Amino acid sequence: MHTVRGYVGDVVSLLDHLSGASGRETLAELDISVLREWLAAQHAQGASRSTMARRTAAARTFTAWALRAELLPNDPGPRLATPSRPRKLPAVLRADQASAAMQASAAGAEQGDPVALRDHAVLELLYATGVRIAELCGLDVDDVDRERRVIRVIGKGDRERVVPFGLPADDALGRWISAGRPKLVRADSGAALFLGVRGGRLDPRTARRSVHDAVGTVSGAPDVGPHGMRHSAATHLLEGGADLRSVQELLGHATLATTQLYTHVTVERLKAIHDRTHPRS
């Protein structure tokens, strides 16, 4: 309903511009120059990129209808370029905040509760590998090679990759596999690595809640979930000197352009540090 109302409002605004600011008298005079003038006026009034994109789509839909209704001699809509939306920089944890979240999670698992052991292993493995939450929940026991400390992941497009993990994640996994998983496993659990309380494969929504809860214990940390842990892992790898190609392969990005987003994150963090600490910033 809100979308329809927005589109109607956009068309009304366009028609007002046609009869007013543009000086045209009939709908048949609506051409590409009028459309561009109208969008330029919206931009000058401070319309956001997302609003501009919606208004462009509304104009295209309207002119296509007007052509079918024989109210326009031709359709100028397809000549309008859709404003690109800027890629929003993801929220990431600082390395010390990530460490504090791991410590809080580890403390919660000290008593050996199977759910707490599972949640700690989930958090450690997400941060260690940067895998997507669906990829993590899709892991089977045989996908983990603790001797080599790698996991076999099936990512988007059924692309398979092997991702390493470190000793803290290995320790958390070991405790989950030996002391936590046996308490939740059922006859129909299958080979799933991570289980829910009823013995089925862990639901990504449950995993998301556990990550938010762990990060929520860290004072001043942004509210990030599993995808935020993925962003954090990629950012910390680059800050530590990893090259883009290696990070691309670890994250399972199809193109390097996606991975390059994280270079902007590291630059923004460096700028923030510079502004905060340099005496002549």
Catalytic residues: 132, 156, 227, 230, 253, 262
Angle at 182 between CA 180 and CA 184, to 5 degrees: 80
* Per-residue 3-state assignment (H helix, E strand, C coil) for 148-212: CCEEEEECHHHCEEEEECCHHHHHHHHHHHHHHHHHHCCCCCCCECCECCCCCECCHHHHHHHHH
**Within 13 Å of residue 28, how many CA atoms lie on the same side as its CB?**
3
Distance CA 45, CA 208 (A): 39
How far apart, in whole angstroms, are the C-alpha atoms of residue 193 and residue 176? 9
Residue 18 is encoded by which pair of tokens?
């046609």
The closest alpha carbon to 97, from 8, 260, 218, belongs to 218
Largest CA distance in the chain: 79
CA-CA distance, 106 to 113, in Å (whole number)?
A: 11
User: Nearest-5° angle of CA 232, CA 111, CA 167?
Assistant: 40
Give the length of the chain.
Answer: 281
